[in-house]
Every structure is written in C-alpha cells, then in structure tokens.
Structure 1
Amino acid sequence: MTDVTVTRKTAPSSHAAKLSTDAPMPAGYEDEGELGLYQLKRIFSKIQLSKAGRLDKSIREAEWSLDLMLYDELRLGLEPALQALYQCPSFTEFEHWVLAQNDGALAPESVSALNAKVSAFYAATVSVATAVHDPGILSASDWQHWQEQGFLVIPDVLDQTLCRRASQLVYDELGMDASRPETWYKPNHKLQKIMVQLFNHPVLNEIRHVPKIRAIFEALWQTNALWMSTDRVGFNPPERPDWQFPGPGMHWDLNFHQPVEFGTQALIYLTDTEAHQGAFSCVPGFHKKIDAWLASLPQGADPQDQDWQGWNVQPIAAKAGSLIIWHQALPHGSSPNRAKSPRIVQYLNMRPLSRR
C-alpha cells in the first residue's frame, strides 16, 4: 500500500471504556470512523450486539461475505480480526489495531476501492460476472479431472526461491531450525495443533499476488471478481514417541445447507511432500454425491462424525510450489507425518463477494 499515514487519535484506556449492551446498530454501512472505511463500524457494533445476545442472525448471515472480504482485504485474517473485535473495548481501539496490521498506514485509493465494493454490495450489484483473464490456464485434462475428482494439483505456481523464503519464515516465526529436528517440537503460542497463527507478512502477501494463482481461481469460478483470503500457514513435523499428529483430521468446512454450493479451498506446498509426509488428503469425487449422501443421513446425525477408515481417503503428494485446490464439498484434512521432514504449507482461497 502507498504510505499515506492516517493520523491516530489517543485511544481510551481499556479500563475507562465501557461498552453498553444496549448500544444501537449503526444507522448504516456508511457510518465511518477515523479511517474512513465503510462497514467497519457496523461490524464492530454487530459483535457487541452478538455478545449481548441481541443480534439478528439473519443480519449476520446476509453480511458475512462482505465482512469476510473486509477482514481479508485489510490483511487482518478471520481469527485475529474476530479476536480483536471481541477484545477491543472501543471502536477507536479496534481501528487502531486495524491500522497497526497495515504498518500504520492505509492508502486513500485502497480505502476508496473498499468503500466502492461495500456500496456495490448494498446496491446488490456485486453478482455481475466479469471476463476471465486467462480461460486457457487449465488444460482439457485439468478440467476433466476437476469435474470428476473435484481437486487439482497444479505444479510450479511458485518458484523454489520463494518456497524456501516462505518455509524459512515459518521456522523463524516458531523459533525452530530446519537442520535441527529437536527444535521442531518446541512449544510455541503461535501453534494451534499444526496451524501456525501467522497471517500477515510480506512473503505471504507476495505469494497471494502471484498472477498464476489468481488465474487458476478465476478460471474455476468463471469470473475475475474475486478477492484473496488472508489465511495462515501450517507446520506438520514427523511423529515421534512424545509427539503424535494432533489434527485436524478429515472434515468439511461447510454449513451443509442443501444443495451444497460451489466453493473452493486451497493450499500451497512450501516443501516437497510425500504421501506419508502429513500430506493433504481428500475423498476424490465426493462433490458429485454429497447432496444425496446428506439426504440419506438419519435425522439429527452429525455429518462430521464419521469412521474415516471406511472412506476412500487419498493423500496427495506433490513438489514444493504446487497448488492444491479442491471443491469445498470434498471431505479433506491433514494426515500424520511418518517421514523425516516437516510438511509446511500456506493456506489460501479466493471467492466472490455475494449476497446471501
């Protein structure tokens, strides 16, 4: 972003600022704070109403896509943004936190572009498809595999130098040494199972802006009106007697509303990954049968509660720099690493802004 600094006001003390549980919803999405961003104050107010049990669920669902877009475009990440929203005692302090995640500056043109997207959302003009930049980015065999299996492995979306920089970043953030296996198991507050709470860094942002990655998502979605997620990275070291794979195992990231909608998820291997090296795993082709399967479940059954030993779960091996992208209807997950080196990945996704 262009380094145009937004002047910060003095934030109130966390002890002095008290939130009222009967604070009204902002009059509209154009209710700005000192950053001049639409929707941000409305998001903060919705969280306060939710904490008080007074938020209409339909409002949250209708605006979820918009809120998620703001978290990602502002390089906040979903989990850090929600944590800050719940912990900041005032909207002013939340704005200051947002500013800090953007190196203390927001470019006016970036603010204007985001406000235009917010306005388009409320004007219900966001679903208009636009031309795909490179419809030939996927081959005929790629398309056939996508339609039949529901996932793709695209090699060499990153060069090896960028892969090494990104994997070294993960080691550095965790205080580990790639050449010293005894350091791979050090406790670190940024590790949640195999997920590393690292969302916003220049190296990760560089990967998110690789043109080939965007072109692949645009081809699958058949539009270039997409935004890139600000997601985290993963570190899955080899199992040993005092450290066993903690998960997450096989699952869906779905609400299971039928029919299950089209959506994508993806990751990039930052290290060469063998099938037994904690590889990404999925059940190929399940996107074609998920609706019938859901309809067959007994009433009240939890779709996530499965004996995955009886499923056709396949680990996907690939070289560093490979993009693995899958239909969100595929059950998927990580797996135990029984090799000699960690599996390191960056998670990412792209999606359109839509009203639900």
Structure 2
Amino acid sequence: MLSAADVEFYRENGYVVAPDVLDGATLSRIRQVVAEICEGARGLETHDKVFDLEPSHRPDAPRVRRIKVPHSNFPFFRELAGYGPMVAILQQLLGPDVRLHGSKINMKAPGYGSPVEWHQDWAFYPHTNDDVLAVGVLLDDADRDNGAMMVVPGSHRGPTWNHHDETGHFCGAMDPAQCPGLDLSTAALMPARAGSMTFHHVRAVHGSAQNFSSRPRTLLLYEFAAADAFPLKGISNFAEYESCMVAGSSSIEPRVVPAPIRMPFPPPRFQGSIYESQTAIAKRYFEMRQEPAPAG
C-alpha cells in the first residue's frame, strides 16, 4: 500500500514509485516465463502478433524489444494482472472498481535496447475520464544508464500534445520543439530495483533513452482504468472487456469528465507497435547509436 503522502505525490506529479512490491518467487517466475516466450522469436523473419523485433534481429540470433499484449496471448500474465499488492495500490489511485485495459513487455537489451520517444499514453487511448494509469513492473534494476523511464512532473494536468507526423498521421510521439511551455529539463528519472513498480498517469509526458549499459532493462507494463472510464475508440468485444475487471464491480454508465483530447486518427503509417509508429517522426529526441551486429 502507498502512504497518504505517496498518493498525494501521485496526484500532484502524475507518477509514483512503489519499491519491492513483488516477492522474490513471483519475480523469478515472471523472468522465467519471459525468457521462455522470447525463445519463440527464434526463426522469425519479422514482427508478428506476439513479437516486436529490434532492427538488428536475425532468425538465428533473435532480438526482441517487445512482447505484445501478453495478458491476451499468455494466461500467466492475465492472472498476474490480479496480483494482490498491485491491485491494492491501484484501488488507492483509481478507486474500488478497476479494469485492465492493456499490457506489453518492453525489453532493452544491453548496449542497443531501443529508446521510446516522449509521448502521452492518453494520445493512444483517450477515455471518458482520465482515471487511467500505467504500471511498470520492473523485472531488472533500472537507472539512467540502462534506460529507466522519465516523467515530466505535473504534465498530466497540462495539454494533450500533438502526436501526429508531418503528413498528419498519428505517430505516437511528440516533437518537444512544438510543445511551448513543456520543460523537459524537469523530467524526473524513475530508478528502482527489480520487483518495484512505477505508476504513471495516462496524461503524463514520459519517455526513455536507449540502453547504453551492459545490463538489461525489462519492463512489464500494464494499463488500468477506473471501471467507469470508457475508451473513446470503442469496445470491439464486450465480453472480453468485461472479463478484464480485476477489482470491484463493472459499470455501463460512463463517467464523463472534461479533458483535452486528440484522437489517434488517421492511423499510423507504420503500425505494429509504438516503436514502428515512432519511426515516422522527423526529429528524434533520444540519441540512437548503431546497434552492434549479433555474434556470428
């Protein structure tokens, strides 16, 4: 559970770090499952419905940068979304009724793990209200060198910035030069030990640099919403939507709260993941060094 001061910090800044939420056995099991899943990328020529691959991936030397929607593709991660200590914190921040919205596992391999440009999750999936957040479950220690997440404090109370490219298509990234008043020099790093969890508001501006270290940085990300926050892009499968409740009671009465919204249309020119979508941006903020070729 978070302290009252932690909850107030989240309300004011749009993020909070909860140390050591996972017990050791659970952390070890998640790492094992992730390693087993990644072996499934061996032999792949390109991305598929489960794997998003690094540009230097080879079928005989797999390099995975994302496992897509693990809660849908692997029952283990759907069950893990109900992990008691995490749900208790979610109820402190979102209220008693909580629904799982999405998931992903982002992997930054030593020396070449890809950056994620500045963005707001709200740009991808606006809802009828913004009691929506993402949880970062740290499977490795994270710090500045290996690409820990950074958040601009208080940005969750500001504008929804433009996430479209020069052609007008959604690209999932902001051009900070086109965001007057956004001061990236105030961005707060969220370093933490493996087993800890980060919580950031859906409208918070955040990003992460390439992994320049010799250590991995693996982050399981869950997205959760209050049960009365309904996605403005619609619900394609209501039964599945209902099955994603992790706490409390469902609702069919959306709570509508004014918030700045830009819809993510027209859709990205390059689809598949945020990494692919962000290739359309004209200017990159985070440095990208050439990836070393796989051994052999």
TM score, norm. by length of structure 2: 0.58
1:258/1:342 CA distance change after superposition, 3 Å = closer
Mapping of 1:1-356 within 5 angstroms? 137-175=1-39, 189=47, 190-193=51-54, 194-197=65-68, 198-199=70-71, 200-223=73-96, 225-239=97-111, 244-255=112-123, 261-290=130-159, 304-307=174-177, 311=184, 312-351=186-225, 352-353=227-228, 354=230, 355=254
**Retained in 2: the 8 A contact 1:163–1:271?**
no
Report the Cα offset of residue 187 of structure 1: 7.2
**Retained in 2: the 8 A contact 1:273–1:317?**
yes
Distance 1:231 1:258 in 2: 17
1:318/1:188 CA distance change after superposition, 3 Å = farther
**Retained in 2: the 8 A contact 1:195–1:234?**
yes
Distance 1:328 1:316 in 2: 16
Report the Cα offset of residue 161 of structure 1: 2.0
Letter in 2 for 1:264: L
Distance 1:249 1:144 in 2: 28
1:314/1:187 CA distance change after superposition, 3 Å = farther
**Retained in 1: the 8 A contact 2:115–2:147?**
no
Structure 2: where are the runs of 5+ without partners? 55-64, 163-167, 231-253, 257-296
Structure 1: where are the runs of 5+ without partners? 1-136, 177-182, 295-299
Report the Cα offset of residue 140 of structure 1: 2.0
Report the Cα offset of residue 330 of structure 1: 0.8
Q: Which has the higher contact order (CA 8 A, sep 6+)?
A: 2
Report the Cα offset of residue 310 of structure 1: 5.6
1:317/1:188 CA distance change after superposition, 3 Å = farther
**Retained in 2: the 8 A contact 1:276–1:315?**
no
**Retained in 2: the 8 A contact 1:155–1:322?**
yes
Report the Cα offset of residue 282 of structure 1: 1.2
Distance 2:90 2:4 in 1: 16
**Retained in 2: the 8 A contact 1:271–1:345?**
yes
Identity of aligned residues (%): 24
Distance 1:290 1:282 in 2: 15
1:203/1:341 CA distance change after superposition, 3 Å = farther
CA RMSD between the two structures: 3.5
Report the Cα offset of residue 247 of structure 1: 3.4
Distance 1:260 1:206 in 2: 26
Distance 1:226 1:155 in 2: 22
Letter in 2 for 1:247: P
Letter in 1 for 2:66: M
Report the Cα offset of residue 260 of structure 1: 7.7
**Retained in 1: the 8 A contact 2:110–2:211?**
yes
**Retained in 1: the 8 A contact 2:132–2:224?**
no
1:329/1:260 CA distance change after superposition, 3 Å = farther
**Retained in 1: the 8 A contact 2:66–2:107?**
yes
Structure with a larger share of its residues in helix = 1
1:329/1:169 CA distance change after superposition, 3 Å = same
**Retained in 1: the 8 A contact 2:105–2:221?**
yes
1:348/1:156 CA distance change after superposition, 3 Å = same
Report the Cα offset of residue 217 of structure 1: 1.0
**Retained in 2: the 8 A contact 1:160–1:320?**
no
Report the Cα offset of residue 259 of structure 1: 11
Letter in 2 for 1:339: S
Letter in 1 for 2:140: T
SS of residue in 2 equivalent to 1:341 = coil
1:172/1:143 CA distance change after superposition, 3 Å = same
- Number of residue pairs aligned between Structure 1 and Structure 2: 202
Report the Cα offset of residue 207 of structure 1: 2.3
SS of residue in 1 equivalent to 2:118 = coil
Moved more, 189-198 or 164-173: 189-198
Corresponding residue for 2:285?
none
Distance 1:232 1:326 in 2: 15
SS of residue in 2 equivalent to 1:238 = coil
1:336/1:188 CA distance change after superposition, 3 Å = same
Deviations 1:228-258 (A, max 9, x none): 245121211122xxxx443322111224989
